[in-house]
Amino acid sequence: MFTAILIARPGGLEPALAENLRNAWGGGDVEWLSPDEAAEFSLAERPANLWDVWRDVQGMSVDLAVQPSDGRRKRMLLADMDSTMIAQECIDELAEVAGAGDHVRAITARAMNGELDFEASLLERVALLKGLPEAVVSQVLQNRITYAFGGRTLVATMRANGAHTALVSGGFTAFTGPIAAALGFDEHQANVLCIRNGALTGDVERPILGRQAKIDALEQITARLGIGPQDVIAVGDGANDLGMLGRAGAGVALHAKPSVAARCDLRINHGDLTALLYLQGYSRTEFVDAAG
């Protein structure tokens, strides 16, 4: 059995759309996870015209996913940080302070789209931060970083239901530490900026955490917890997330680069981070209240 899920911004999902699609696909009764925002129905098989319909409803600002009904609720959340749990790329914000914002943003965009080697591009960008005072990191955290909507609710709801939560980033521990704490994650992993005499040296400690390291984190954490990759829901937006998205039981491309989304079956382009709860079958009434 499969389950089809329709997700939109609050007030953006018309009941007629859910009913018409259910009728066209011969599905079960429509169940509303949140009025005018998220609905689902059962299917005997995956529709042959899924992606044609997906493109149609995208034009209505509605996300559509079809996934196996069994095992939807996951026991672990593995999340990227930059442009996923927060709205910015931390290295771009540091570079802005260093006066190299436009140059670094261009490199970041190409790296996240899979056009450049992640590790090489990271080292190139970090080199441009050489000499920045260490205190700039705290200033960026306080003044330039905003949290993606729904993140705290996603983490709090999954933890309340027994799931383990991990923030894994190709960014820096100077950011993942405070951000993981603010959002309620159980743990975090990222690269370590080299600092000497109170200033950034323009380098990071080895080994560099990139695409393979995110896969390794998934496998190591699940082994420690005694669960399998099929028990994980992972979320990210960039090319260095593709490995973990493909390995997880549910890999969600959230507002992702087109080249990344094209390789994922679960794509959220209109909903916020609470869409990951709807994908698992949580109703709005089950959400744990958490600001943001």
Active site residues: 80, 82
> Whole-angstrom Cα distance, residue 269 to residue 271?
6
Burial of 144 from C-beta contacts in 10 A (0-12 / 13-18 / 19+): middle
The dihedral built from the CA positions of residue 86, 78, 122 and 268, taken in this order, carries a sign that is negative
> Whole-angstrom Cα distance, residue 85 to residue 254?
10
Please, where are the H alpha helices in 50-161? 50-58, 90-98, 101-112, 118-127, 135-143, 151-160
Q: Which residues neighbour 113 within 8 Å (Cβ) at sequence distance 6 or greater?
A: 238, 239, 257, 258, 259, 260
Bond preceding residue 35 cis, omega within 30 of 0: no
Return the structure tokens found at 55: 């493109």
Return the structure tokens found at 42: 């059962």
Q: Which element (helix H / strand E) includes 41?
A: strand 38-43
Q: How far is CA 158 from CA 106, 108, 126, 277, 289, in A?
A: 35, 31, 34, 8, 12
